[in-house]
DNA sequence: AAAGAGTGCTTACTTTTGCAAGCACCCGCG
DNA sequence: CGCGGGTGCTTGCAAAAGTAAGCACTCTTT
């Protein structure tokens, strides 16, 4: 078959689960938000199924993180990417933060910028 | 199924075909280079099949273009090219923040990371 | 303590992916 | 001509994706 196929070894599932738990979402909640079945999400998280591009995209949306991040985790996008500059982008890409935490950091950053513009 | 499914309407296939022709490759050549069957590639190009993440990645490699580009064409990646990787680094480099502000953002970020490790 | 809802997981099933094999066609060449 | 090799396309079929329904368990609530 020549094209990579991941089995129950894939770290992608674990990553998704971790993100879901950081956001305090149940399997069903995230599955609904993504338009996929909870059964399927459960299998993805445990590495038994290999989500298609569209499901991956939907998961990225549901988890409120950039599709790039998820695809990088899936080993599809080269994670290297760009030369580090934009704080907001860096926050959005960070795989260890919850959606809420990312939101807070971005807000804080932007309020700083705003204040600075004033003086 | 709620998740996007493309039929023979998809512009992705046409894009792939155009790229293939620009490279003066036959269907079989590109298919071989990608490790997929020529039958399947033919169907993808005409929009009858919906390549998985892995096939898409293989196609990007075979066409020698970045996976980002192809995924953007597939309508999966927002063409917004992000840079920046590391949050702390990005914050430290940001020229619009004060030292104090940088310190606060970094502290906030690190406390989030710490909290996440706990649960 | 039984009902009710929430959690994740399993099973049986349908639909889609992706391939091996083969079709029809167009060339260049002996 | 007639044959070998190029082109893209079609057609079954095996294997994987994805779902609906339901299981086992834990909490609340009554």
A36: CB within 7 A of chain D nucleic strand: yes
Q: Specify if A105 maps to a domain.
A: yes
Mean pLDDT, all residues of chain B: 80
Check: pTM over 0.95? Answer yes or no. Answer: no
Q: pLDDT of B56-76, one tens digit each?
A: 999 998 987 878 778 888 888
The confidence score (pLDDT) of residue B118 equals 56
Q: Please indicate, yes or no, whether residues A35 and A62 belong to a single structural domain of this protein.
A: yes
A 10 A CB-CB count for B28 gives 13
Contacts of A104 in chain B (CB under 8 A): 108
A13-41: burial string, b at 16+ Cβ within 10 Å, e else: bebbbbbbebbebebeebbbbbebeeebb
Residue B103 contacts A where some CB pair is shorter than 8 Å: no
Q: Please indicate, yes or no, whether residues A66 and A85 belong to a single structural domain of this protein.
A: no
By 3-state DSSP, what share of chain B in percent is helix, strand and coil, each rounded to 5?
60, 0, 40
Domain that holds residue A101: 79-118
Residue B58 contacts A where some CB pair is shorter than 8 Å: yes
Q: Which two tokens stand for residue A37?
A: 């079945």
Q: Specify if B1 maps to a domain.
A: no
Protein residue with the closest CA to the C1' atom of nucleotide C21:
B39
Q: Please indicate, yes or no, whether residues A37 and A93 belong to a single structural domain of this protein.
A: no
Q: Please indicate, yes or no, whether residues B15 and B62 belong to a single structural domain of this protein.
A: yes
How far is it, in rounded angstroms, from Cα A96 to Cα A66?
13
Q: Please indicate, yes or no, whether residues A17 and A61 belong to a single structural domain of this protein.
A: yes
Q: Please indicate, yes or no, whether residues A16 and A70 belong to a single structural domain of this protein.
A: yes
Angle, CA A69 vertex, CA B12 and CA A41 arms, to 5° = 80
Q: Please indicate, yes or no, whether residues A90 and A50 belong to a single structural domain of this protein.
A: no
Using pLDDT thresholds of 50, 70 and 90, give the confidence band for residue A76: confident
* pLDDT of B44 over the 80 cut: yes
Q: Please indicate, yes or no, whether residues B59 and B88 belong to a single structural domain of this protein.
A: no
> Are residues B93 and A101, on separate chains, in Cβ contact within 8 Å?
no
Q: Please indicate, yes or no, whether residues B19 and B50 belong to a single structural domain of this protein.
A: yes
Q: pLDDT of B96-108, one tens digit each?
A: 777 778 889 999 9
- The count of domains in chain B is 2
Distance of C1' in C16 from CA in A42, Å = 20
Q: Please indicate, yes or no, whether residues B87 and B110 belong to a single structural domain of this protein.
A: yes
More confident residue, B27 or A95: B27
B3, closest nucleotide (Cα–C1')? D18
Q: Which two tokens stand for residue A99?
A: 């959606």
* pLDDT of A48 over the 90 cut: yes
Q: Specify if B3 maps to a domain.
A: no
């Amino acid at each position: 078959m020549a094209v990579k196929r991941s089995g129950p070894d894939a770290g992608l599932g674990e990553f998704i689960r971790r993100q879901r738990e950081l956001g305090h979402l149940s399997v069903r909640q995230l599955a609904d938000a993504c338009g996929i079945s909870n059964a399927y999400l459960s299998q993805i998280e445990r590495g038994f199924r290999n989500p298609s591009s569209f499901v991956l995209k939907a998961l990225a949306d549901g988890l409120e993180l950039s599709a790039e991040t998820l695809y990088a985790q899936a080993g599809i996008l080269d994670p290297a990417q760009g030369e580090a500059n934009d704080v907001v982008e860096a926050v959005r890409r960070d795989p260890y933060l919850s959606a809420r935490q990312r939101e807070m950091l971005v807000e804080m950053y932007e309020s700083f910028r705003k204040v600075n513009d004033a003086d």
